[in-house]
Amino acid sequence: MRRAIFPGSFDPLTNGHLDIIKRSLPLFDEIIIAVLNNLEKKPMFSVAERCRMIEEILPEIENGECSLIVDSFQGLTADFARDKSATAIVRGIRAVSDYEYELRMALMNRRLEPQIETVFLMAAEEYSYVSSNLMKQVFTLGGRVEGLVPELVEAKMRDKSKL
Ligand code: ADP
């Protein structure tokens, strides 16, 4: 059983995240999309809202043999991965700027859990500048994020801005 976790804030899920999920499908039997409850960040969406959105979007993915599961966690990614008996942590790399941070995290996670390997997948060119933060900034200032986040996410962002 090749089980991976794909950890992140997913505040909110973007088409860049979806691209990484799709690229991971042939590599694993099961992927747990692990929504981090980061107590330090002030999110746009609660963890429950983020998980629900992802669960609603997942049926649109043709996942073939690979099971896709949504879960949330707090604390160390390495602990969560070990508790779930995952053998890999999937992360996306967009640009060189991601690399330094990701390298540090991967080496630390390897030190904590040597049997768990971090697997880096390269972002699709068309989403390589897409981040949840940029989507929130642009959207909040009235810009269009169409085509960069799933339609459901865009609708939920619109609902939030009306509150
Ligand atoms: P975190 O706060 O842990 O970085 P994110 O939700 O921002 O969480 O990202 C989760 C993972 O998805 C990270 O590995 C990040 O590099 C990757 N990722 C984010 N946006 C994109 C994108 N547009 N293309 C590819 N990977 C991405």
Q: In what order do the strands lie in the sheet with 88-93?
A: 67-73, 30-36, 3-8, 88-93, 117-122
Marked catalytic residue, from 24, 50, 91, 132: 132
Q: Determine the pLDDT at residue 163.
A: 66
Domain spans of the chain, in order of start: 3-162
C-alpha of 27 from chain center: 17
The DSSP string of 6-60 is: EEE--TT--HHHHHHHHHHGGG-SEEEEEEE--TTS--SS-HHHHHHHHHHHGGG
pLDDT digits (tens, 9 = 90+) for 43-94: 999 999 999 999 999 999 999 999 999 999 999 999 999 999 999 999 999 9
Report the topology of domain 3-162.
Answer: Rossmann fold (3.40.50)
Mutate to test the pocket of ligand 1, among 50, 91, 128 (most ligand atoms within 8 A of CB): 91
Give the global pTM: 0.96
